[in-house]
Chain A
Amino acid sequence: MSNTQMKSGLELRDLSIRLGDRLLVDIDLVIAPGEIVTLMGPSGSGKSSLLGHICGTLPPVFDVRGVVRLNDTVLDGLAPQDRHVGILFQDDLLFPHLSVGGNLAFALPSSIRGKTERRARVAAALESAGLAGLAERDPVTLSGGQRARVALMRVLLSEPGVLLLDEPFSKLDRGLRDQIRSFVFDLARKNGLPTLMVTHDPEDGQAANGRVIALD
């Protein structure tokens, strides 16, 4: 974990997002590696716009000021695919035209070469998520909990430097929710990822056991 010590995490410096005259977000925040910060706010409060801006996929109609830094690299101006920002939405968004294994291999960097090696990585990821042997399956045939786990493993395989969670548990059944929450949080901490979660469910914040910031 010495590696983690040198990383400074995710910094949002004097960040504000406006749409027309409306101020959506105004925030100054540092998230340390392995820390989970929860942003609470009603829908329409611009939480998703903030995540979109960190990803680099926010449409240009928004007026954004401030700086986003990840481990001392300024992300502003970088293309989304070069940012190493992982994001999970409330839907798993597994690509329906690919198998479970295909979805994971899509995320695996191309620097990992050779069919056998790539397959092995995918299989290992599935196994570590308790999904061993499901690589050939059609994603839609998995249970909701299984799909949520595949979605997280897909993000982790892309070797992100930060994890963003956009109401990731709101569509799961109550029973499943606790289980998937701890699965996601544990892996985020284990991987030393600075994690930013936006939600309107107070239980998410409590379960994350970290800072909770209210947006209004």
Chain B
Amino acid sequence: MLRFVPIITLFFMVGPVSAGLIGTILPSFGILPALGGDGASLDPWQALLAQPGLDRSIGLSLINGLAATLISVVIVMLFCAAWQGTRVFRVLQRLLSPILSVPHATAAFGLAFLIAPSGWIARLVAQAAGWDRPPDLAIIHDPLGLAMIVGLVIKEIPFLFLMTLAALPQADTDRTAQVTASLGYGRITGWFKVTLPRIYPQIRLPVLAVLAYSTSVVDVAIILAPTTPAPLAVRILGWLSDPDLSYRFMASSGAVLQLGIVLVAMGVWIGGEKIVGALGRNWAVDGRRLAHDGWLRHGAAILAIVAAGAVILGLVVLLVWSIAGFWAFPDVLPRNFSLRLWAREFDALGDSLAVTLMIGVPSVLVAIALVLGCLENEVRTGFRPRKRVMWLIYLPLLVPQISFMFGLQVFFTLVGLDRTLFSVVLAHLVFVLPYVFLSLSDPFRALDPRYGQTALCLGASPNRVFWHVRLPLLTRAVLTAMAVGLAVTVGQYLPTLLIGAGRFATVTTEAVALATGGDRRMIGIYGLLQMMLPFAGFALALLIPAILFARRRGMGGNNRI
């Protein structure tokens, strides 16, 4: 049985993506019998191209996606180069999990509440400058989409930071840093010239995933991006939700176009990699050392801290708004506080939490079982998947959601599974699986294989070795992977909305639906609610091993707080 698990796992990821892409491409050429599309035609494309402002939408998606990715990568690389192995680095490393567990939409709402003309920052300035009304500036939904770029950057930094942390140990970075320093290189220059070329290949797929995400994001864009016109992905969702079903054809063309945009963005990025690589090879050996890079190091720290601070402060503002009574501009805090809204919404909140868990728990359980099966199979057969398999694992993260979710909905309708919990869980699994795999594979493979050998030689069967040796030793890693998985399903907006056809009101779909209404108190409540489950997940992943192994110091740092 075990040896079929990797194939089954890949099927759960690649299958829905392929079915979804087919189900999107066919209607984009007019083929969708359920809606009366029986013959191939180019009408959907003509309708799409006739949409006003399409070029602006495309430009926004492409340029903002590339910009957000570039800024995130540069900040993370600079910060790692400047501070790796120091206390500042370890402090931010500790903040990483909580920040990662904040769903994108929550972070975007928090940011909006901070930087909006009537947001917290403006209120602070107003206090000092004596304004009595908010500045007349479009900071949120600004025409250039700068707010969206910032919103993406503050959430992509922690993800890329995590991926870089995983790659660092394999490059022997501490000793490399000693060598470059003793040769007279500044920290940052030494790191960029020697360490970066060694770790970049390992973070390349995550970077491309960030690029695909940023170029096609929907929920963050609804909250922060310009609206006239909106980035392409948001407009596609609008057409898909239109009561006029004939819009579905044009939406499909849009979804295919969106895939094209992501591919173009990747082409641009990979071209950029080549240019930077070529220039870098000369730069690496030109002997310039930038020995005194204090200013750059501090700049990098400030950027990283501001990014982390924006997420954390954003959560605080959400909390304050959720319990705010009367709160006039430019007061920094509300005049009074009240739990009235929390009390009024109590039942509704419970319902959306329950729906979220109803989808999340089975997704996470199936994912962790499959991933453990894959990794255990690796150990037993002694056969590690080739590098190319990693592309398949990343596939669901590289193809824009909007480009295959509608097609997947079409597919589920075809097989009679539309609007069921089963199909929503399957759709979530597509994204939960890769993250759970990425989270668990390193610690699982890093476990000293001699523990297993010893146990086998003591006469334990392979199953007993798995359940009584490997699994207990990996308790913390397994629970963390499950928490990551939970955070991923809680944050899913499009799959829940499209596959569930509106039947499943999770904390995230409810929160994003509030974005257009602008009721800050309600947004505060639902933003926090979104945060609650992932946060509880990570807290349990820390606490459970600490309690289980309180009297086992040898379980090591990996299993203690």
Which residues of A does B touch, CB under 8 Å? 52, 55-57, 59-61, 79-87, 89, 91, 93-98, 106-107, 109, 138-141, 154-155, 158-160
Residue B462 contacts which of A81, A97, A160 (CB distance < 8 angstroms)? A81
In B519-561, the 8 Å CB interface with A consists of 549, 551-556
- Which B residues are in CB contact (< 8 Å) with A84? 459
A to B CB contacts below 8 Å, 15 in the list: A60-B383, A80-B453, A81-B457, A84-B459, A93-B450, A95-B473, A96-B554, A97-B475, A97-B552, A97-B554, A106-B455, A107-B458, A109-B459, A158-B458, A158-B459
Residue B454 contacts which of A87, A96, A138, A139 (CB distance < 8 angstroms)? A87
Q: A97-B549, A138-B551 are in contact. Are A83 and B457 (CB under 8 A)?
A: yes
- Which A residues are in CB contact (< 8 Å) with B469? 95
Complex CA gap A141/B554 in Å reads: 8
- Which A residues are in CB contact (< 8 Å) with B457? 55, 57, 80-81, 83, 85-87, 155, 158, 160
- Which B residues are in CB contact (< 8 Å) with A96? 473, 552, 554-556
CB atoms of B458 and A60 under 8 A apart: no
- Which A residues are in CB contact (< 8 Å) with B454? 87, 89, 93
Closest to A160 in B: B457
CB atoms of A60 and B473 under 8 A apart: no
- Which A residues are in CB contact (< 8 Å) with B383? 60
CB atoms of A106 and B458 under 8 A apart: yes
Closest to A137 in B: B551
Closest to B448 in A: A93
- Which B residues are in CB contact (< 8 Å) with A86? 457-458
- Which A residues are in CB contact (< 8 Å) with B468? 106
Complex CA gap A82/B459 in Å reads: 6
CB atoms of B458 and A139 under 8 A apart: no
- Which A residues are in CB contact (< 8 Å) with B549? 97
Instruction: Say yes or no for B518: interface residue by CB 8 A criterion.
Output: no
Closest to A142 in B: B554
Residue A140 contacts which of B460, B473, B553 (CB distance < 8 angstroms)? B553
Residue B451 contacts which of A52, A93, A107 (CB distance < 8 angstroms)? A93
- Which B residues are in CB contact (< 8 Å) with A139? 554
CB atoms of B461 and A81 under 8 A apart: yes
CB atoms of B455 and A91 under 8 A apart: no
| Of listed B448, B551, B552, residue having the most chain A CB within 10 A | B552
Which residues of B does A touch, CB under 8 Å? 381-383, 448, 450-462, 468-469, 472-473, 475, 549, 551-556
A181 to B: closest C-beta gap in Å: 20
Q: A81-B459, A107-B458 are in contact. Are A52 and B453 (CB under 8 A)?
A: yes
Complex CA gap A154/B551 in Å reads: 21
> What is the predominant secondary structure among interface residues of chain B facing chain A?
helix
Closest to A106 in B: B458
CB atoms of A87 and B459 under 8 A apart: no
B464 to A: closest C-beta gap in Å: 8
Complex CA gap A141/B553 in Å reads: 8
With A56-B456, A57-B452, A91-B450 given, can you name 20 additional A-B contacts, CB distance below 8 Å? A52-B453, A57-B457, A59-B382, A79-B462, A81-B459, A86-B458, A87-B457, A91-B448, A93-B450, A96-B473, A96-B555, A96-B556, A97-B549, A97-B554, A106-B455, A106-B458, A138-B551, A140-B552, A140-B553, A155-B457
- Which B residues are in CB contact (< 8 Å) with A93? 448, 450-451, 454
- Which A residues are in CB contact (< 8 Å) with B451? 93, 95
CB atoms of A138 and B459 under 8 A apart: no
Complex CA gap A56/B453 in Å reads: 9
B518 to A: closest C-beta gap in Å: 52
CB atoms of B382 and A55 under 8 A apart: no
- Which B residues are in CB contact (< 8 Å) with A109? 459
Complex CA gap A109/B460 in Å reads: 9
B98 to A: closest C-beta gap in Å: 27
Q: Which 4 A-B pairs have the closest CB atoms?
A: A96-B554, A140-B554, A59-B382, A80-B456
CB atoms of A97 and B459 under 8 A apart: no
Closest to B451 in A: A93
Complex CA gap A9/B46 in Å reads: 83
A2 to B: closest C-beta gap in Å: 25
- Which B residues are in CB contact (< 8 Å) with A94? 554
CB atoms of A138 and B554 under 8 A apart: yes
Q: A93-B448, A97-B472 are in contact. Are A57 and B456 (CB under 8 A)?
A: yes
A201 to B: closest C-beta gap in Å: 20
Complex CA gap A56/B553 in Å reads: 31
Closest to A55 in B: B457
A169 to B: closest C-beta gap in Å: 16
- Which B residues are in CB contact (< 8 Å) with A140? 552-554
Closest to B464 in A: A81
Closest to A83 in B: B457
A159 to B: closest C-beta gap in Å: 8
Q: A97-B555, A155-B458, A158-B459 are in contact. Are A87 and B453 (CB under 8 A)?
A: yes
- Which B residues are in CB contact (< 8 Å) with A80? 453, 456-457
- Which B residues are in CB contact (< 8 Å) with A87? 453-454, 457
Q: A60-B382, A93-B448 are in contact. Are A55 and B456 (CB under 8 A)?
A: yes
- Which B residues are in CB contact (< 8 Å) with A158? 457-459
Complex CA gap A81/B454 in Å reads: 10
Complex CA gap A154/B457 in Å reads: 11
Residue B460 contacts which of A56, A83, A97, A106 (CB distance < 8 angstroms)? A106
Closest to B384 in A: A59
CB atoms of B553 and A138 under 8 A apart: yes
